[in-house]
Amino acid sequence: MKGARPEPAQPVPAARGDGSPSKNRKGLVIVFTGNGKGKTTAAMGLALRASGNKMRVRVIQFIKGSWKTGEVEAVKPLAPLFEIVRAGLGFTIDRLRDPRIEPDEHRAAAQAGLEEARQSIVSGDFAIVVLDEILGAIKARLVTTEQVLDLVDAKPPMLHLVLTGRDAPAEIVEAADLVTEMRLIKHPFQMGIIAQRGIEF
Protein backbone atom coordinates (compact mmCIF):
# COMPACT_ATOMS: atom_id res chain seq x y z
CA MET A 1 0.00 0.00 0.00
CA LYS A 2 1.38 3.41 -0.98
CA GLY A 3 1.81 6.24 1.46
CA ALA A 4 2.76 6.32 5.10
CA ARG A 5 2.69 3.02 6.92
CA PRO A 6 -0.17 2.80 9.46
CA GLU A 7 0.70 2.74 13.12
CA PRO A 8 1.23 -0.78 14.56
CA ALA A 9 -1.91 -2.50 15.79
CA GLN A 10 -2.81 -1.98 19.42
CA PRO A 11 -4.63 -5.05 20.77
CA VAL A 12 -6.75 -4.75 23.87
CA PRO A 13 -4.04 -4.27 26.52
CA ALA A 14 -3.05 -6.92 28.98
CA ALA A 15 -3.67 -6.44 32.67
CA ARG A 16 0.05 -5.79 33.11
CA GLY A 17 1.78 -2.93 31.38
CA ASP A 18 4.51 -4.98 29.69
CA GLY A 19 2.34 -6.33 26.83
CA SER A 20 2.58 -9.90 28.08
CA PRO A 21 -0.45 -12.08 28.68
CA SER A 22 -2.00 -12.07 32.11
CA LYS A 23 -4.28 -14.41 33.97
CA ASN A 24 -7.27 -12.55 32.55
CA ARG A 25 -6.23 -11.73 28.98
CA LYS A 26 -4.19 -13.41 26.26
CA GLY A 27 -4.10 -13.72 22.51
CA LEU A 28 -6.37 -16.61 21.55
CA VAL A 29 -6.14 -19.35 18.95
CA ILE A 30 -9.69 -19.71 17.64
CA VAL A 31 -10.91 -22.51 15.35
CA PHE A 32 -14.16 -22.55 13.37
CA THR A 33 -14.60 -26.02 11.88
CA GLY A 34 -17.27 -28.58 11.01
CA ASN A 35 -19.30 -29.60 7.95
CA GLY A 36 -21.95 -26.91 8.41
CA LYS A 37 -22.16 -23.48 6.83
CA GLY A 38 -20.90 -20.44 8.71
CA LYS A 39 -17.18 -20.85 9.38
CA THR A 40 -15.99 -17.95 7.23
CA THR A 41 -19.08 -15.96 8.19
CA ALA A 42 -18.23 -16.32 11.88
CA ALA A 43 -14.61 -15.31 11.28
CA MET A 44 -15.67 -12.26 9.26
CA GLY A 45 -18.10 -11.19 11.97
CA LEU A 46 -15.39 -11.48 14.60
CA ALA A 47 -13.00 -9.49 12.38
CA LEU A 48 -15.61 -6.77 11.81
CA ARG A 49 -16.21 -6.47 15.55
CA ALA A 50 -12.47 -6.14 16.15
CA SER A 51 -12.06 -3.44 13.50
CA GLY A 52 -14.90 -1.55 15.16
CA ASN A 53 -12.71 -1.58 18.28
CA LYS A 54 -9.85 0.02 16.26
CA MET A 55 -7.92 -3.29 16.12
CA ARG A 56 -6.14 -4.00 12.84
CA VAL A 57 -7.19 -7.24 11.17
CA ARG A 58 -5.72 -9.14 8.23
CA VAL A 59 -7.66 -12.01 6.66
CA ILE A 60 -5.71 -14.35 4.39
CA GLN A 61 -8.00 -16.52 2.31
CA PHE A 62 -6.74 -19.89 1.16
CA ILE A 63 -8.58 -21.97 -1.51
CA LYS A 64 -11.11 -19.32 -2.60
CA GLY A 65 -8.99 -17.71 -5.32
CA SER A 66 -10.39 -14.96 -7.54
CA TRP A 67 -14.04 -15.74 -6.82
CA LYS A 68 -15.70 -12.36 -6.21
CA THR A 69 -17.25 -12.26 -2.75
CA GLY A 70 -19.20 -9.60 -0.88
CA GLU A 71 -16.80 -9.46 2.03
CA VAL A 72 -13.85 -8.46 -0.17
CA GLU A 73 -15.79 -5.46 -1.46
CA ALA A 74 -17.36 -4.63 1.91
CA VAL A 75 -14.08 -4.19 3.77
CA LYS A 76 -12.37 -1.92 1.24
CA PRO A 77 -13.61 1.27 2.96
CA LEU A 78 -12.34 -0.12 6.29
CA ALA A 79 -8.67 -0.27 5.20
CA PRO A 80 -6.18 -0.22 6.82
CA LEU A 81 -8.08 -1.54 9.86
CA PHE A 82 -9.47 -4.51 7.92
CA GLU A 83 -7.66 -6.16 4.99
CA ILE A 84 -8.41 -9.31 2.99
CA VAL A 85 -5.61 -10.98 1.04
CA ARG A 86 -6.23 -13.81 -1.43
CA ALA A 87 -3.69 -16.63 -1.24
CA GLY A 88 -5.42 -19.35 -3.23
CA LEU A 89 -6.20 -20.18 -6.85
CA GLY A 90 -9.71 -21.52 -6.33
CA PHE A 91 -11.45 -24.66 -5.17
CA THR A 92 -9.59 -27.96 -5.23
CA ILE A 93 -12.44 -30.51 -4.99
CA ASP A 94 -13.22 -32.17 -8.32
CA ARG A 95 -16.74 -30.85 -8.85
CA LEU A 96 -15.69 -27.23 -8.31
CA ARG A 97 -12.05 -26.96 -9.32
CA ASP A 98 -10.76 -25.29 -12.48
CA PRO A 99 -9.13 -28.12 -14.51
CA ARG A 100 -6.75 -25.60 -16.08
CA ILE A 101 -4.96 -25.14 -12.74
CA GLU A 102 -2.53 -27.92 -11.88
CA PRO A 103 -2.24 -29.31 -8.32
CA ASP A 104 1.32 -28.01 -8.08
CA GLU A 105 0.08 -24.48 -8.79
CA HIS A 106 -2.46 -24.76 -5.97
CA ARG A 107 0.27 -26.03 -3.66
CA ALA A 108 2.67 -23.23 -4.58
CA ALA A 109 -0.02 -20.60 -3.98
CA ALA A 110 -0.85 -22.09 -0.58
CA GLN A 111 2.80 -22.18 0.42
CA ALA A 112 3.16 -18.52 -0.57
CA GLY A 113 0.07 -17.84 1.54
CA LEU A 114 1.75 -19.52 4.51
CA GLU A 115 4.69 -17.15 4.18
CA GLU A 116 2.30 -14.19 3.94
CA ALA A 117 0.61 -15.49 7.08
CA ARG A 118 3.87 -15.81 8.98
CA GLN A 119 4.90 -12.28 8.09
CA SER A 120 1.51 -10.94 9.15
CA ILE A 121 1.58 -12.86 12.43
CA VAL A 122 5.05 -11.79 13.54
CA SER A 123 4.99 -8.23 12.15
CA GLY A 124 3.33 -6.60 15.13
CA ASP A 125 1.07 -4.70 12.72
CA PHE A 126 -2.10 -6.68 13.41
CA ALA A 127 -4.19 -7.52 16.44
CA ILE A 128 -6.02 -10.36 14.68
CA VAL A 129 -4.95 -12.60 11.79
CA VAL A 130 -7.56 -14.85 10.19
CA LEU A 131 -6.41 -17.79 8.05
CA ASP A 132 -9.62 -18.57 6.21
CA GLU A 133 -9.91 -22.13 4.84
CA ILE A 134 -6.41 -22.99 6.08
CA LEU A 135 -7.86 -26.23 7.45
CA GLY A 136 -9.26 -26.98 4.00
CA ALA A 137 -5.78 -26.44 2.63
CA ILE A 138 -4.53 -29.10 5.05
CA LYS A 139 -7.24 -31.51 3.89
CA ALA A 140 -6.31 -30.81 0.25
CA ARG A 141 -2.63 -31.50 1.11
CA LEU A 142 -1.56 -28.04 0.04
CA VAL A 143 -0.04 -27.34 3.47
CA THR A 144 0.69 -29.60 6.44
CA THR A 145 -0.63 -29.69 9.96
CA GLU A 146 2.92 -29.14 11.19
CA GLN A 147 3.25 -25.96 9.14
CA VAL A 148 0.08 -24.55 10.65
CA LEU A 149 1.18 -25.50 14.16
CA ASP A 150 4.44 -23.65 13.47
CA LEU A 151 2.36 -20.52 12.82
CA VAL A 152 0.53 -21.06 16.10
CA ASP A 153 3.88 -21.32 17.88
CA ALA A 154 5.11 -18.12 16.18
CA LYS A 155 2.12 -16.12 17.40
CA PRO A 156 2.96 -13.17 19.69
CA PRO A 157 1.36 -13.50 23.14
CA MET A 158 -1.41 -10.95 22.58
CA LEU A 159 -2.27 -11.65 18.93
CA HIS A 160 -5.53 -13.48 18.19
CA LEU A 161 -5.18 -16.14 15.46
CA VAL A 162 -8.32 -17.51 13.78
CA LEU A 163 -8.29 -20.70 11.69
CA THR A 164 -11.27 -21.86 9.62
CA GLY A 165 -12.20 -24.89 7.54
CA ARG A 166 -13.56 -28.41 7.77
CA ASP A 167 -11.94 -31.34 9.54
CA ALA A 168 -9.66 -29.56 12.00
CA PRO A 169 -6.86 -32.01 12.89
CA ALA A 170 -6.79 -33.17 16.50
CA GLU A 171 -3.41 -31.48 17.05
CA ILE A 172 -4.84 -28.10 16.07
CA VAL A 173 -7.91 -28.59 18.24
CA GLU A 174 -5.57 -29.37 21.12
CA ALA A 175 -3.49 -26.23 20.47
CA ALA A 176 -6.55 -23.94 20.27
CA ASP A 177 -8.15 -21.94 23.07
CA LEU A 178 -11.61 -21.82 21.47
CA VAL A 179 -13.07 -24.36 19.05
CA THR A 180 -16.55 -24.11 17.54
CA GLU A 181 -17.93 -26.84 15.28
CA MET A 182 -20.60 -25.88 12.75
CA ARG A 183 -22.82 -28.94 12.31
CA LEU A 184 -24.86 -29.46 9.17
CA ILE A 185 -28.52 -30.05 9.99
CA LYS A 186 -30.18 -28.70 6.87
CA HIS A 187 -28.85 -26.87 3.80
CA PRO A 188 -30.64 -25.44 0.74
CA PHE A 189 -28.17 -27.25 -1.52
CA GLN A 190 -29.90 -30.48 -0.47
CA MET A 191 -33.05 -29.11 -2.12
CA GLY A 192 -31.26 -28.14 -5.31
CA ILE A 193 -30.91 -24.46 -4.41
CA ILE A 194 -27.62 -23.09 -5.68
CA ALA A 195 -25.28 -20.71 -3.83
CA GLN A 196 -26.80 -17.25 -3.55
CA ARG A 197 -25.30 -13.77 -3.59
CA GLY A 198 -25.10 -12.27 -0.10
CA ILE A 199 -25.54 -15.68 1.56
CA GLU A 200 -22.68 -17.81 0.26
CA PHE A 201 -20.61 -15.13 -1.45
User: Which domain range does residue 84 map to?
Assistant: 29-184
In a domain, 77, yes or no: yes
pLDDT in tens, 27-63: 999 999 999 999 999 999 999 999 999 999 999 999 8
188 DSSP assignment:
G
In a domain, 17, yes or no: no
Mean model confidence pLDDT for the chain: 84
In a domain, 105, yes or no: yes
Cβ–Cβ under 8 Å, residues 166 and 136:
yes
Helices 103-122, 145-154: axis angle to 10 degrees equals: 10
In a domain, 12, yes or no: no
CB pairs under 8 A, 24+ apart, for 143-150?
Answer: 143/62, 143/110, 143/111, 143/114, 145/169, 145/171, 145/172, 147/114, 148/172, 149/175
Whole-model pTM: value is 0.81
Sheet containing strand 82-86, strands side by side: 82-86, 57-61, 128-132, 160-164, 29-33, 178-181
Q: Which CATH number do you get for residue 35? A: 3.40.50.300
Model pLDDT, residue 127: 98
In a domain, 163, yes or no: yes
pLDDT in tens, 144-153: 999 999 999 9
Q: Give the integer Cα–Cα distance in Å for 179 and 162.
A: 10
Model pLDDT, residue 197: 72
**Domain count of the fold of the chain:** 1
49: left (phi over 0), alpha (psi -120 to 50) or beta: alpha
Low-confidence ranges of the chain (pLDDT < 70): 1-23, 64-67, 88-101, 196, 199-200
